[in-house]
């Protein structure tokens, strides 16, 4: 078993372990000598690392997405842990367990897939039910659907993140459909299908990234193609219902500037967009707090996904009490003692008497 994990590292700790290189930069010191600036990761998070000395000896021996064994010392730099590397060597793939280096859902993928089957089994619309059953029964779709992340880094960015996001969204859809009196089956179908194109958009064999198809087309177009192929196998599928399903996939980002070619134009499409956005933002905020490496203070560093810092509420509530507010000064009684000018005036008047 890998040890230590990034989350276990503490300031002033000697480190002797293996990590995945997520970012690699070769920079220059003021002397002109090169040094290495790395982001080392495992399934629990990332750690900034610098190799100041002897970097020229190893900087060409490994690349981004390689595994490296390092020895070094953890210090605090700008309120964040930073590893100063003393020794570094590339580690071959066969010597590591990949599951130690990629974040994954806390729930089992098959457990979540079984729950998704139960959701589909509860649908009353026979056409939507047949479509979803056909998709989940196709192992070429089901296998990556169980394991794919929901995003490269913005939300649910871990193995099994896609299906975990969909399960969460389906639970929200059930409550919201009843509250607003909309078509619950159509809403659930949109939730299950809206991000299905991500099974081909994203790659995650070594690090999370985009496939060529994902870069060229994006998950909305890929998902629309996939669903279209499945509907063609169902000759009795109503054409107008097909259009509604396709529109929910096309419009789920909500706005043109966010990548949707159409904005939501009916109730279920609008509701899907807002529930999807809420679930992704809530998870992004939770992850920002959980993975933040700031040592002190009650704020995270800036989250690119949210474009803000996030308050660590528990640390804020448990922190030292605020200093007492200064009481405003009340009206002051006039002084009975004359000022120096007043004294001179009194003396002058006394002389005239």
Q: Are 268 and 186 in contact (CB under 8 A)?
A: yes
Output the pLDDT for position 79: 85
Are 119 and 212 members of one domain? Answer: yes
Mark residue 232 as left, alpha or beta (left: phi above 0; alpha: psi -120 to 50; beta: remaining). Answer: alpha
pLDDT of the residue at 336: 55
Q: Do strands 202-203 and 80-91 pair parallel, antiparallel, or not at all (unpaired)?
A: unpaired
Considering the domain architecture, whether residues 58 and 207 belong to the same structural domain is answered as no
For residue 284, being part of any structural domain is answered with yes
Q: With beta carbons less than 8 A apart as the criterion, state whether 274 and 254 touch.
A: yes
At residue 353, the pLDDT reads 47
242-275 tens-digit pLDDT: 999 999 999 999 888 887 899 999 999 999 999 9
Q: Are residues 79 and 46 in the same domain?
A: yes
Q: What is the pLDDT of residue 157?
A: 79
The total of structural domains in the chain comes to 2
Question: Do residues 147 and 129 share a domain?
Answer: yes
Q: Any bridge partners for residue 70, and if so which?
A: 17, 88
**Do both 85 and 216 map to the same domain?**
no
Distances (CA, A) of 213 to 156, 216, 220, 250: 21, 5, 12, 17
Neighbours of 245 (CB within 10 A): 25
- Domain CATH code at residue 224: 1.10.3210
Cα separation, 229 vs 237, whole angstroms: 12
Same domain, 126 and 168: yes
Among 234, 264, 289, give the residue marking a domain's end. Answer: 289
Give the tens place of pLDDT for each residue, 99-157. 888 888 888 889 999 999 999 999 999 999 999 999 999 999 999 999 988 887 777 87
Q: Could you read off the pLDDT tens digit of each residue along the chain, which spans 353 residues?
A: 678 999 889 889 999 999 999 899 999 999 999 999 999 998 888 899 999 999 999 999 999 889 999 999 999 988 889 999 999 999 988 888 888 888 888 888 899 999 999 999 999 999 999 999 999 999 999 999 999 888 877 778 788 899 999 999 999 999 999 999 999 999 999 999 999 999 999 888 777 888 899 999 999 999 999 999 999 999 999 999 999 999 999 999 988 888 789 999 999 999 999 999 999 999 999 988 888 887 788 999 888 888 899 999 998 998 776 666 655 555 555 555 555 665 665 666 555 44
Domain encompassing residue 232: 109-289
Pair 38, 181 in one domain:
no
**Separation between Cα atoms, residue 69 and residue 40, nearest integer Å:** 10
225 and 96, same structural domain?
Answer: no
Locate tokens 């040094």: which residue?
Answer: 35
pLDDT at 99: 83
Structural tokens at position 138: 């196709």
Q: Are residues 113 and 262 in the same domain?
A: yes
- Per-residue pLDDT at 102: 85
Measure the CA–CA gap between 105 and 167, rounded to whole angstroms: 12
What pLDDT score does 339 carry? 59
List the CATH number of the domain containing 10: 2.40.50.140
Q: Is residue 68 in some structural domain?
A: yes
3-state secondary structure the chain: CCCCCHHHCCCCCEEEEEEEEEEEEEEECCCCCEEEEEEEEECCEEEEEEECCCHHHCCCCCCCCCEEEEEEEEEEECCEEEEEEEEEEEECHHHCCHHHCCCECCCCHHHHHHHHHHHHHCCCCHHHHHHHHHHHHCHHHHHHHHHCCCCCCCCCCCECHHHHHHHHHHHHHHHHHHHHCCCHHHHHHHHHHCCCCHHHHEECCCCCEECHHHHHCCHHHHHHHHHHHHHHCCCCCCHHHHHHHHHHHHHCCCCHHHCCCCCCCCHHHHHHHHHHHHHHHHHHHHHHHHHCCCCCCCECCCECCCCECCECHHHHHHCCCCCCCCCCCCCCCCCCCCCHHHHHHHHHHHHHC
Both 285 and 165 in one domain: the answer is yes
What local confidence, expressed as pLDDT, does residue 327 receive?
Answer: 59
Closest alpha carbon to 306 in 283, 287, 281: 281
Structural contact between residues 255 and 270, judged by C-beta atoms closer than 8 angstroms: no
| Same domain assignment for residues 117 and 73 | no
Distance CA 164, CA 151 (A): 12
- Does 175 share its domain with 236? yes
């Amino acid at each position: 078993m890998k040890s230590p994990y990034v989350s276990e590292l503490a300031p002033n700790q000697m480190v002797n372990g293996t990590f995945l290189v997520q970012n690699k930069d070769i920079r220059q010191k003021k002397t002109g000598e090169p040094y290495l600036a790395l982001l080392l990761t495992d399934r629990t998070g990332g750690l900034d690392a610098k190799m100041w000395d002897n970097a020229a000896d190893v900087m060409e021996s490994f690349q981004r997405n390689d595994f490296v064994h390092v020895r070094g010392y953890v210090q605090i730099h700008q309120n964040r842990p930073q590893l100063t590397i003393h020794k570094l060597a590339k580690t071959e793939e066969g010597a590591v367990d990949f599951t130690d280096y990629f974040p994954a859902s806390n729930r089992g993928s098959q457990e979540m897939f079984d729950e998704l089957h139960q959701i589909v089994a509860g649908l009353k619309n026979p056409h939507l039910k047949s479509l979803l059953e056909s998709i989940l029964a196709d192992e070429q779709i089901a296998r990556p659907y169980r394991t794919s992340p929901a995003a490269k880094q913005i939300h649910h960015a871990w193995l099994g993140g896609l299906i975990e996001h969909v399960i969460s969204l389906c639970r929200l859809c059930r409550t919201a459909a009843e509250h607003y009196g909309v078509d619950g089956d159509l809403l659930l179908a949109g939730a299950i299908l809206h991000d299905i194109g991500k099974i081909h958009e994203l790659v995650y064999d070594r690090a999370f990234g985009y496939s060529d198809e994902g870069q060229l087309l994006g998950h909305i177009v890929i998902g629309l193609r996939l669903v279209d192929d499945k509907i063609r196998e169902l000759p009795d599928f109503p054409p107008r219902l097909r259009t509604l399903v396709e529109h929910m996939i096309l419009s789920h980002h909500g706005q043109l500037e966010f990548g949707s070619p159409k904005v939501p134009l009916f109730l279920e499409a609008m509701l899907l967009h807002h529930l999807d956005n809420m679930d992704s933002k809530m998870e992004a905020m939770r992850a920002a707090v959980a993975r933040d490496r700031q040592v002190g203070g009650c704020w995270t560093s800036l989250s690119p996904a949210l474009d803000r810092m996030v308050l660590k509420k528990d640390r804020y509530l448990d922190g030292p009490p605020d200093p007492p507010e200064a009481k405003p000064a009340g009206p002051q009684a006039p002084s009975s003692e004359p000022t120096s000018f007043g004294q001179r005036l009194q003396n002058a008047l006394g002389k005239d008497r």
